[in-house]
Amino acid sequence: MSRSEGRRRRGGGRAGATARRGGAVIEQMPWQIPVNIDRPTEPLGPEGIQAIHEGAMRILEEIGVVFLNPEALAIFKQAGCRVEGDLVRMDRDFVMEMIGKAPSTFTITPRNPERALPIGGNHMLFGNVSSPPNYWDLELGKKVSGTREQCQDLLKLTQYFNCIHFAGGYPVEPVDLHASVRHLDVLYDKLTITDKVMHAYSLGAERVEDVMEMVKIAGGLSEKEFQAKPRMYTNINSTSPLKHDYPMIDGCLRLARRGQAIVVTPFTLAGAMAPVTMAGAVAQSIAESLCAIALFQYVAPGTPCVIGTFTSNVDMKSGAPAFGTPEYMRSTQMTGQMARFYGLPMRSSGVCTANVPDGQAMWETSNSLWASVQSGTNMVYHAAGWLEGGLIASPEKFIMDCEVLQHIQRYMQPATFATTTDDIAFGAIKEVGNEGHFFGIQHTQDRYTEAFYQPFLSDWRNYEAWEEAGAEWTAQRAHRVFKDITASFQEPAMDDTLRGELQEFVARRKEEGGAPTDF
């Protein structure tokens, strides 16, 4: 064990203590890696899977995908693909051979190794909302541009909640920070406020390299240690239809070559950037992600890759995107079937179209989260805090979503459907017989503290008690919880030397001018 790994281990121990102290604000479920044992919901039969696969392969073979990245074009040419200008066509044999090199499971290890995440298989992990340019909370009562302080608050929630496993993109875009240095300040905040798995935006070489360097520093890792296993990941979107932009591919190539993980998530909005039919939109999405994953596997065989879905539909009255719809659910389930067909871990999202954290927000978000469960998703992006189709981040919504995530994570625990002799409880039923109740008996006494899910936000009091206590609707209660958590938040432990190195790095890179802003 290297000296740096030892430092991290101690840090992790203190972080654990902090998390326990943090438990004073609310009683939450412990940190765990949820295992989804439900058989996925599979709308497609074998012919349906074959039809989508055939469609995706024909798209790659006959239509082709534009790569606005010269390096990628050169690599595809070298690999024997047909490259004309920036259009790449590739045979299914090549695609399938490359996809076969991608691992079906892998682990991402952040600076606190206790937060390591197994990606793939039956594991189901949840991340915070990422990238909204705007912020809304109940106190403001209006939509405003994101700031660093709001971003920090949302990062505190990301760290605080055990049901949130990874820190995705910026939980709100802090537009008060200049774009050239924004990534330095936010990554510093992310790496000090949280100790969870980290993400880098693929928005230019400097940003990607800076983030990798900061993850290395925060982890106290040598370059060799950094490259030895995935320590972080990036998530890219294609520019649908059938196009990959320069910076996205560039960032991924940089990560792939250093052994880091890549999530490829086309944004195929049926009726706009993709066919109006859900199966067509899924086929196009699959084609867009597979060709990129094939590229990364050719460059660095075994690169950990995740196939993402962000297929939804537009509102045909307005052309605006809609989320958490029936079509969204089915496309997520279909993509899950395709991900298993290709042997790749899968990413989907917790999303809604609603503008405020109200009833609509929660049925749309519930729809999308249950679709994640039903599809066998491994990474759930935007699982907490998302509003207005991703244009708004909201702390109240974050808190409310965490309650739903806890419901889902409790739902997955085998205790909820165990059928041992103790669970069937014939003796207890006989003891109570045809009169009385089960409150007082030993069978209940032995089990009641752990028997059922205990919410932290749901109000289970009757109307009169709820009214007496202030008659607060869910969003109001969530606001209070948000204020309490951020007010008493304690950062996870970090070695002072590493913190100093991080600060020096940020200062030096700022002096150098940060990153270009012409992306």
Nearest Cα to Cα of residue 198 among 219, 173, 177:
219
Query: Hey, what are 484's tokens?
Result: 């309490």
Near a copy of itself in 57-76, by CB under 8 A: 58-59, 62-66
Cβ at position 258, least distance to a copy of itself in Å: 30
What lies within 8 Å, CB to CB, of 81 at 6+ separation is 88, 89, 90, 91, 94
Total Cβ atoms within 10 A of residue 96:
14
Written as one string, the DSSP assignment of 74-113 is HHHHHTT-EEETTEEE--HHHHHHHHTTS-SEEEE--SSG
Cα dihedral across residues 454, 456, 458, 460: positive or negative: positive
Cβ at position 144, least distance to a copy of itself in Å: 11
* Omega before 241 within 30 of 0, i.e. cis: yes
Q: How far apart are CA 5 and CA 21, in angstroms?
A: 25
Residue 490 interacts with a copy of itself (CB under 8 A): yes or no? no
Nearest Cα to Cα of residue 267 among 291, 242, 237:
237
Residue that has been written with the tokens 């709308």 in this structure: 43
Query: Hey, what are 19's tokens?
Result: 């998390």
Query: Hey, what are 160's tokens?
Result: 């605080």
Answer for which of 101, 443, 480, 483 binds a copy of itself (CB under 8 A) is: 443
Cβ at position 179, least distance to a copy of itself in Å: 23
Cβ at position 167, least distance to a copy of itself in Å: 24
Q: Residue 110 or 271: which CB sits closer to a copy of itself?
A: 271
Near a copy of itself in 95-134, by CB under 8 A: 134
Largest CA distance in the chain: 81
Pick the piece of the chain touching a copy of itself (CB under 8 A) from 104-112, 186-194, 259-267, 409-417: 409-417
Contact track, a copy of itself, 235-274, x by CB under 8 A:
------xxx--------------------------xxxxx
Nearest Cα to Cα of residue 160 among 483, 376, 460:
483
Near a copy of itself in 155-214, by CB under 8 A: none
Run of H or E residues at 262: strand 261-264
Amino acid sitting at position 15: A
Q: Which residues of 223-257 are buried (b: 16+ CB within 10 A; e: fewer)?
A: eeebbeebbbbbbbbbebbbbbbbbbbbbbbbbbe
Residue 518 interacts with a copy of itself (CB under 8 A): yes or no? no
Q: Residue 3 or 417: which CB sits closer to a copy of itself?
A: 417
Q: Residue 17 or 418: which CB sits closer to a copy of itself?
A: 418
Near a copy of itself in 269-308, by CB under 8 A: 270-280, 283-284
Answer for which of 109, 313, 348, 394 binds a copy of itself (CB under 8 A) is: 313
Q: Residue 197 or 242: which CB sits closer to a copy of itself?
A: 242
Residue 228 interacts with a copy of itself (CB under 8 A): yes or no? no
Q: Residue 417 or 518: which CB sits closer to a copy of itself?
A: 417
Amino acid sitting at position 294: A
Q: Residue 201 or 370: which CB sits closer to a copy of itself?
A: 370
Q: Residue 76 or 226: which CB sits closer to a copy of itself?
A: 76
Residues 221, 191 contacting (CB under 8 angstroms) = no
Residue 466 interacts with a copy of itself (CB under 8 A): yes or no? yes
Near a copy of itself in 22-61, by CB under 8 A: 37-39, 41-44, 47-48, 51-52, 54-55, 58-59
Near a copy of itself in 314-373, by CB under 8 A: 314-320, 322, 325-327, 329-330, 333-334, 353-367, 370
Pick the piece of the chain touching a copy of itself (CB under 8 A) from 168-176, 226-234, 252-260, 399-407: 399-407
Residue 439 interacts with a copy of itself (CB under 8 A): yes or no? yes
Amino acid sitting at position 275: P
